[in-house]
């Protein structure tokens, strides 16, 4: 199946953001684990842990199709209108699987990165106020030094539209953390829907 270069660049964009959020989450996890181990406690008893993600393999495959070796070149493709009309032949089923995984991991990793504040009370209870506050402060510093600017939401919409047009709507693979997050957020979402 022929797909436009720009479309593959949109996919690489989503995967790259998912990888960025995953790396940020791993950094948060390392800091949390250090504090909890120092206190002789298992961090997993108090705080959700990062699910594994190997997006680099998919990112490399898409970049190879695009003929680039650096992610910055993907963004050049996204901005270069004439070049984006070029088409590349790919296996449709393979591409759909990567798209479904990329969208799910992007959502999952982004949600995970936003939930850190949820654990502040648990952290203080587990480590005591002084150590808990130190951990929260260190995580705040890490957030500021690792801030991920922008989003890939527009690209996610483009990928979902492509799947829908093919008659194979977005079907997320298993994502335990995302399912847990959605379950936790549903009452808030329902309250918003009810108020509209």
Q: What is the pLDDT of residue 33?
A: 92
Mean pLDDT of the residues in the chain: 87
pLDDT confidence bin for 101, thresholds 50/70/90: very high
Q: What is the pLDDT of residue 173?
A: 87
Domain boundaries, the chain: 2-195
Q: What is the pLDDT of residue 83?
A: 62
8 Å CB contact between 172 and 103: yes
Kindly report, residue by residue over 78-90, the tens digit of the pLDDT.
Answer: 887 666 678 899 9
Neighbours of 8 (CB within 10 A): 24
Distance CA 168, CA 148 (A): 31
**Token couple for 95:** 């591409």
Kindly report, residue by residue over 102-143, the tens digit of the pLDDT.
Answer: 999 998 888 887 766 567 788 888 899 999 999 989 988 988
pTM of the model: 0.85
- 149 or 89: which carries more pLDDT confidence? 89
The answer for residues whose C-beta is within 8 angstroms of residue 17's C-beta and 6 or more apart is 106, 110, 148, 151, 152
pLDDT at 65 over 90: yes
pLDDT confidence bin for 46, thresholds 50/70/90: confident
């Amino acid at each position: 199946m022929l797909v436009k270069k720009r479309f593959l660049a949109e996919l690489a964009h989503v995967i790259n953001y998912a990888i960025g959020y995953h790396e940020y989450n791993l950094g948060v996890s390392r800091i949390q684990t250090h504090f909890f181990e120092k206190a002789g406690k298992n961090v997993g008893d108090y705080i959700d842990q990062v699910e594994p993600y190997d997006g680099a393999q998919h990112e490399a495959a898409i970049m190879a199709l695009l003929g680039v070796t650096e992610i910055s070149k993907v963004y050049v493709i996204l901005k270069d209108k004439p070049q984006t009309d070029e088409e590349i032949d790919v296996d449709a089923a393979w591409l759909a699987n990567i798209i479904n995984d990329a969208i799910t991991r992007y959502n999952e990793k982004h949600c995970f990165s936003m939930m850190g504040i949820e654990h502040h009370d648990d952290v203080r209870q587990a480590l005591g106020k002084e150590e808990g506050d130190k951990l929260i402060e260190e995580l705040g510093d890490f957030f500021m030094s690792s801030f991920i600017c922008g989003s890939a939401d527009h690209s996610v919409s483009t990928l979902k539209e492509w799947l829908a047009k093919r008659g194979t709507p977005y079907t997320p693979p298993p994502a335990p953390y995302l399912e847990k997050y959605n379950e936790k957020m549903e009452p808030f979402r329902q309250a918003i829907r009810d108020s509209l």
